[in-house]
């Protein structure tokens, strides 16, 4: 089956997740169509199912993914779909932060008109290697608030690759 993976990313973790999904689907005999919506990927290729992925920055996903979902709302709603929402809140168990993640996903779907078949909150990463000076300071403070030990010049990944792989297998099996 041809399965679209349309994604947006700011520091690269969602791209890594999208590529992981593509490899996983290919290994099971599907044809993944990887589309970076921020670099001119505006058209939606023909596909039997779609995975859309974006990350949370200050309470919102990347606008390019929202525009993509809005533009292709009807075709997306007619297929099996999943939204992978990448964030640091999903790495923790703070109930308020999880409520926020649910609200962000609901608001995104209400604005775009696309109702994802499934919404999956995926733990992302601190990517200090990609932050500018001010972001590094802000993210160090956030890490400190969360009681996390981080290398201020390195990366710290929280994505659970085994769980994500199992989810993608399950999605593809049901879609097929």
> Given the rule CB under 6 A, which residues bind ligand FMN?
9-14, 55-59, 86-89, 124-125, 127, 135, 139
CA-to-CA dists, residue 62 to 11, 14, 50, 73, angstroms: 12, 11, 18, 17
- Cβ proximity to ligand FMN: between 29 and 147 the closer is 147
* Angle in degrees, CA 31, 37, 33, rounded to 5: 5
Residue 1: CB minimum distance to ligand FMN, A? 26
What Rg do the C-alpha atoms of the chain give, in angstroms? 16
CA dihedral sign, ordered 95, 101, 102, 104: positive
Smallest distance from ligand FMN to CB 17, Å: 7
Q: How far apart are alpha carbons 158 and 164 in whole angstroms?
A: 12
Give the up-direction half-sphere exposure of residue 66: CA atoms within 13 A in the CB hemisphere.
Answer: 15
Residue sitting closest to ligand FMN (CB): 124
Closer residue to ligand FMN (CB): 89 or 167: 89
- How far apart are CB 14 and ligand FMN at their closest, in Å? 3
Task: Read off the DSSP letter of residue 38.
Answer: T
Q: Which is nearer to ligand FMN, 3 or 18 (CB)?
A: 18
Q: Which is nearer to ligand FMN, 7 or 80 (CB)?
A: 7
- CB of residue 13 to ligand FMN, shortest distance in Å: 3
């Amino acid at each position: 089956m041809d399965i679209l993976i349309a994604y947006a990313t700011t520091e690269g973790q969602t791209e890594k997740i999208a590529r992981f999904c593509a490899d996983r689907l290919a290994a099971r005999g599907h044809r993944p169509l990887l589309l970076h919506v921020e670099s001119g990927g505006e058209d939606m290729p023909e596909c039997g199912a779609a995975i859309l992925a974006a990350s949370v920055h200050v309470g919102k996903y990347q606008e390019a993914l929202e525009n993509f979902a809005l533009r292709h709302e009807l075709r997306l709603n007619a297929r099996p779909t999943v939204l992978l929402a990448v964030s640091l809140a999903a790495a923790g168990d703070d109930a308020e932060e999880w409520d926020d993640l649910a609200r962000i996903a609901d608001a995104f779907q209400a604005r775009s008109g696309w109702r994802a078949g499934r919404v999956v909150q995926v733990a992302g990463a601190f990517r200090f290697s990609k932050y500018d000076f001010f972001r590094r300071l802000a993210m160090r403070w956030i890490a400190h608030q969360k009681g996390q030990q981080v290398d201020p010049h390195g990366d710290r990944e929280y994505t659970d690759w085994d769980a994500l792989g199992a989810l993608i297998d399950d999605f593809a099996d049901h879609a097929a």
